[in-house]
Amino acid sequence: MPSWIDTHCHLDAAEFAADRDTVRQQAAAAGVAHCVIPAVERANWDAVRQLAHRHGDSYALGIHPLYTARAAEADLALLDQALQQHRHDPRLVAIGEIGLDFFAQGLDTARQEQIYRAQLQLARRCDLPVILHVRRSADQLLKGLRETAVPGGIAHAFNGSLQQAQAFIALGFKLGFGGALTYDRALQLRRLATELPASALVLETDAPDIPPHWLYTPAAQRAVGQPQGRNAPAELPRIAGVMAGLRGQSLVDLARSTSANACAALPRLAGLLQKI
């Protein structure tokens, strides 16, 4: 059975409160050897670190753009302190999830920019890659990366143009593909998944979010009380099967290449995987 890396899984989310350990065990049984658990705000920095140690996974620390409105002025200094405190922890593999979101309503663009750029400075100082939230913001993210060089990372849930993809790749980034790829209507995303070189791709679930099509609940059904399907890291091999089919690639080859890419994007992963 191929061995997979889920490069983006919010295992600490409230949706997993009742069965978190079981969810991780099911993923392992499905062949998911490793999960990267990114933080979203100060309140969950300890949780992601503890989960990564409990399950033999890895984590990232950062402030997500959707949480910038409630981030305190002191949070960037506290993030700096946490990164210094845990700098020798091999399971701390990146700064993230950070970035910009120009889709969600009501967010302060200037505040997002300030916190994003400050975290790029931290990544540069700590020599850590970043895990980027990219939502209608690719060009502005790239502008920040050109002005503050960091040691690469992953553009999570990428859904931009081929030119934007190539620009991220040129800056040392890998591109994360997950459940959105499984929808027949995702024509541009599917084209990207086939046109980009194998060396650019990593796999992710973003669990519990971005459910693949087989877990999606249509709006009409949600309106009458049927809940949205919960994504989980155990879905990664089936998502990978969709990508392999689109690319005409074997699952074994895809597992090998995407795992190597994850280690290239997040270099501390390699040492952790050797212990599995």
What pLDDT is stored for residue 224 in this prediction? 82
Phi-psi region of 271 (alpha: psi -120 to 50; beta: other; left: phi over 0): alpha
- What is the Cα–Cα distance from 159 to 179, expressed in whole angstroms? 12
Confidence of residue 276 (pLDDT cuts 50, 70, 90): low
Phi-psi region of 109 (alpha: psi -120 to 50; beta: other; left: phi over 0): alpha
DSSP readout, 44-108?
GHHHHHHHHHHHT-EEEE---GGGGGG--TTHHHHHHHHHHHTTT-TTEEEEEEEEEESSSTT--
35-44, 130-139, 190-199, 210-219: least confidently modelled range: 210-219
Q: Model pTM?
A: 0.97
Query: Could you report the per-residue pLDDT of 248-272, keeping only the tens digit for each?
Result: 999 999 999 999 999 999 999 999 9
In the chain, the N- to C-terminal Cα span, in Å, equals: 15
Residue 10 among known ligand-binding residues: yes
Query: Could you report the per-residue pLDDT of 198-221, keeping only the tens digit for each?
Result: 999 999 999 999 999 999 988 788
- What is the Cα–Cα distance from 68 to 64, expressed in whole angstroms? 7
Q: Which CATH superfamily is domain 4-273 in?
A: Metal-dependent hydrolases (3.20.20.140)
E strands present in 110-198: 130-135, 153-156, 173-177
Query: Could you report the per-residue pLDDT of 141-198, keeping only the tens digit for each?
Result: 999 999 999 999 999 999 999 999 999 999 999 999 999 999 999 999 999 999 999 9
Say what angle helices 236-247 and 251-265 make with each other, to 10 degrees: 110
Residue 206 among known ligand-binding residues: yes
Residue 147 among known ligand-binding residues: no
Output the six-digit token pair for 90: 């091999």
Percent of the chain with pLDDT strictly greater than 70: 99
Locate the domains of the chain by residue range.
4-273
Residue 213 among known ligand-binding residues: no
Query: Could you report the per-residue pLDDT of 80-111, keeping only the tens digit for each?
Result: 999 999 999 999 999 999 999 999 999 999 99
What pLDDT is stored for residue 171 in this prediction? 98
User: What is the rounded average pLDDT of the residues 135-142?
Assistant: 98
- What is the Cα–Cα distance from 103 to 106, expressed in whole angstroms? 9
- Cβ atoms of 58 and 268 within 8 Å: the answer is yes
- What is the Cα–Cα distance from 153 to 237, expressed in whole angstroms? 22
